[in-house]
Amino acid sequence: MKVRSLPELKTLRKALAEQAARLAAERAAVEAARREAEERLHQDRLLFERTVGAVQRLPHHGRHLARPHPPLPRPQQRELDEQAVMREALSDLFDAETLLHTDEHLSFRRPGVGPEVARKLRQGNWSLQAQIDLHGLRTDEARETLGHFIREAHKRGLRCVRVVHGKGLGSPGKTPVLKSRVHSWLAQKSEVMAFVQARPAEGGAGALVVLLRPSPHPHH
């Protein structure tokens, strides 16, 4: 471009100055927009961290990590039942005599269980739902059989059962060994709330009527 005169040169300088000013203004506007965007991103990140807490980005490795298969369900209830059977530790040395109420009929009540419970149990206010007969069993067999019976009855949600132990008249010396053992074993079972000697029609001195605690999750 050839400049022919001084006025033309002044006009060119003015145009160049105006163009430079426009470029500077455009750069300033772009820079201001960039800073505003960065500030907005920073504020969004701060809001996110205040909401969910600080996070740490995982390094990108380009691999897809499949979630492991969940473990097969364990038969926990069956395992618990088997463990309970293995540790059925009803002691023959436990003395339940001090816990028995020997009024007109023998009865047992857990601490906190009122006498009206035993009275209603003796009167037959509770319907018998199951029974076990321990006649003819050796001591170890009777202990395991009784423990299993009480545990299963409670699991099923039964509340009132009968335990037949016999009067012990066939025992050596005519002493009711099994009868006293059954008293002791039942007193050691946490599922048992109370028991009373059965009425004559239900076995009398050869049987007990047992009241069980309510089961939280009865299995029918």
Domain ranges of the chain: 1-53, 93-212
CATH topology of domain 93-212: Ribosomal Protein S8; Chain: A, domain 1 (3.30.1370)
Global pTM exceeds 0.75: no
Q: Are 177 and 168 in contact (CB under 8 A)?
A: yes
pLDDT tens digits for 84-134?
544 455 655 545 555 566 555 678 999 899 989 999 999 999 999 999 999
Measured distance CA(206)–CA(195) in Å, rounded: 13
The DSSP result for 31-74, as a single string, is HHHHHHHHHHHHHHHHHHHHHH----PPPP-S---PPPPPPPPP
Measured distance CA(48)–CA(55) in Å, rounded: 9
pLDDT tens digits for 135-191?
889 999 999 999 999 999 999 999 999 999 988 655 554 446 888 899 999 999 999
Using a 10 angstrom Cβ sphere, with 0-12 exposed, 13-18 middle and 19 or more buried, the burial of residue 168 is middle
| Residue 40 predicted with pLDDT over 90 | no
pLDDT tens digits for 53-86?
656 666 666 665 666 666 666 566 665 655 554 4
Question: Burial code of 4-16, b = ≥16 C-beta within 10 A, e = fewer?
Answer: eeeeeeeeeeeee
Residue % of the chain over a pLDDT of 90: 33
Longest Cα–Cα distance of the chain, Å, equals: 149
